[in-house]
Structure 1
Amino acid sequence: MKDTLLTTAGDPRKAKFIAISERIIERIKTGELQPGDQIPSENELIKTYNVSNTTARKALLEIESKGWARRVKGKGTYVLNRTEDHHLLRTLGSIYATRRGFHDSLIAEGFTPKNIVLEKTILPDGISSEINGRHFIIEGPVMKLHQLRYADDILIKDEVKYISLQLCPKINRIPTEVSYFKVYENAYHLQITEVQQTLSVRILEPNTTNFDLARPTAAFVLDSAVVCTNDKVVEIEQSYYHGDKYKFAVIANPEKQPRPMV
């Protein structure tokens, strides 16, 4: 669908690339595009606004030069995190966000990520977890990965993952900063059918966790399970998110209503 912005804008003398950039920046300001979201590519702008590749490229450069987005080489242009306190917004229920992965999400938002692996071991026995009233089990062997996730040298996530070595043999040899969701799909050709998640809050006391806390601080606790074909559980996770650094949103996907018969 063509965007009518360029024919309805109040100033016909305004350069097309400026009009396009202003439209996208407005989408960022209203929250339609969130920090870390990919903004339309050069080809998408050409198709949407019926402009040349030069105009589309200049529009993207204009958005980036004004500090609203940054280009990640070989991946695209992403909305930067411009919140005053640099809160990180994460969306539960978003397969897109899950597929992109934690490391790449931080880079897209303009942060410098760092991981410290505390434990990476193979457990011969299985692991289980109760999420949303359901029992999820991974049969052994299982890789346990415990790592600390930093953004600009600030610890923001204490993450523990359990991954099936039956479904993903030798995944323990893969670098830990990758998006495991992409690895499941691309390297092991698993079809992800379901992601179950629960979010709770726990008060963490100073000197009792890996977070450097000066006072009791709320932390988000995320429990999740990733399920593939035949109800096989490929991953179970329990992670703590620094409560002062995060905000969470939820995507609701209402069931499609049946079309009326005619």
Structure 2
Amino acid sequence: MQREEKHKFKKISDEIIRAIQTGKYLPGEKIPSENEIISQYNVSNTTARKVLLAIELNGLARRIKGKGTFVLNRTEDRHLVRTLGSIADTRIGFNEKLKAEGFEPKNIILEKTILNDGISSEINGKHYIIQGPVLKVHQLRYANDLIMKDETKYISLTLCPKINLLPPEASHYKAYETKYQLGKLHIIQTMGADIFKPDDERNNFGTAAIIPVFVLDSAIFTLQEKVVELERSYYRGDKYRFAINAQEY
């Protein structure tokens, strides 16, 4: 029996490590939990625990207490990979995603104000409007000591009262689902590209040279077409790669 468990341990470990190395599990994504390994492979909790520990000791993942075990970012150039159109990716939140990948996140708020007249944005040819009052949050998002994202969000205070009291590291999307019970939400996103010169008034990245940027426009809305959030963010083009989540219906 002990020999069989040892064989299973190696088989499961090799399988999950291969899945990480081939990109089935991307940096910041969860690998199977202890309970999932026990259920899927019919092994003891001791074997499942050893599997997760072995993967962590290999430097491929890290365990975050109460959250799970996440794939670390070990790409040579430390690019961050993000998935467009992924509810799961959005739900995790920027800070939690970075921590899961082994980075130290930090936020600096440039502006936090309430717009009583509301806000509107055109995304993918459609006009989205949030009636006032609207919370505007403009912040710089860091990974370690590098600015990775310049983010401006507009959030409906009618649908999400007092969300301005939420700490900056919290996931807004999770709050929409849990605290405000807004039900199933939809996301529409468009991605463009631009070049920022050092003296460009939009350039908050503090670079001395021209850098490429990804420009993300997004809207989050309810099944009743009520807009919860609008976002316009700039991502450092030399530090990010984006994947597309294609779903078949």
Is the Cα contact below 8 Å between 2:116 and 2:133 reproduced in 1?
Answer: yes
Task: State the Cα distance separating 1:12 from its structure 2 match.
Answer: 7.5
Aligned-partner Cα distance in 1 for 2:41–2:63: 21
* 1:250 aligned residue: 244
Would you identify which runs of 4 or more consecutive aligned residues in structure 1 move more than 3 Å?
11-15
Relative to 1, partners in 2 of residues 1:13 and 1:162: Cα closer, same or farther, differing over 3 Å?
A: closer
| Runs of 5+ unmatched residues, structure 2 | none
Residue 213 of structure 1 deviates from its aligned partner by 1.6
SS at match of 2:140: strand
User: What is the aligned partner in structure 2 of residue 195 from structure 1?
Assistant: 187
Q: Which amino acid aligns with 2:39?
A: K
How big is the alpha-carbon RMSD for the aligned residues of Structure 1 and Structure 2? 1.4
Q: Is the 8 A contact 1:207 1:213 kept in 2?
A: no
How many angstroms does 1:199 deviate by?
0.2
Residue in structure 2 matching 1:219, options 213, 216, 227 = 213
Q: Contact 1:221 / 1:241 at 8 angstroms: preserved in 2?
A: yes
Deviation at 1:207, TM superposition (A): 3.2
Aligned 8 A contact 1:164 1:235 in 2:
yes
SS in 2 for 1:230: coil
Q: Which runs of 5+ in 1 are unaligned?
A: 1-10, 256-262
How far apart are residue 14 of structure 1 and its match? 5.5
Larger mean CA deviation between 217-226 and 186-195 belongs to 186-195
Q: TM-score, normalised by structure 1?
A: 0.91
Which amino acid in structure 2 is aligned with residue 242 of structure 1?
Answer: R
CA distance in 2, matches of 1:198, 1:90: 13
Q: Normalising by structure 2, what TM-score?
A: 0.96
1:45 aligns with 2:70: no
| Mapped partners of 1:214, 1:122: distance in 2 | 33
Deviation at 1:13, TM superposition (A): 9.5
Counterpart pick for 1:71 among 48, 63, 71 = 63
Supply the distance in 2 between the matched residues of 1:35 and 1:98 (Cα, whole angstroms).
15
Q: 1:13 to 1:174 in 2, by over 3 A?
A: closer
Equivalent position of 1:56 in the other structure: 48
Residue 23 of structure 2 aligns to which amino acid in structure 1? G
Q: Deviations over 1:61-109 (max 9, x none)?
A: 0000000000001100000001001000000011000011111000111
Tell me the matched-pair count. Answer: 245
Which one-letter code corresponds to 2:76 in the other structure?
Answer: E
Q: How far apart, in 2, do the equivalents of 1:129 and 1:15 lie?
A: 57
Q: Structure 1 residue 163: deviation in Å? A: 0.1
The structure that has the greater radius of gyration is: 1
Q: 2: CA distance between counterparts of 1:18 and 1:121?
A: 54
Deviations 1:198-232 (A, max 9, x none): 00001000133111222211100000000013100
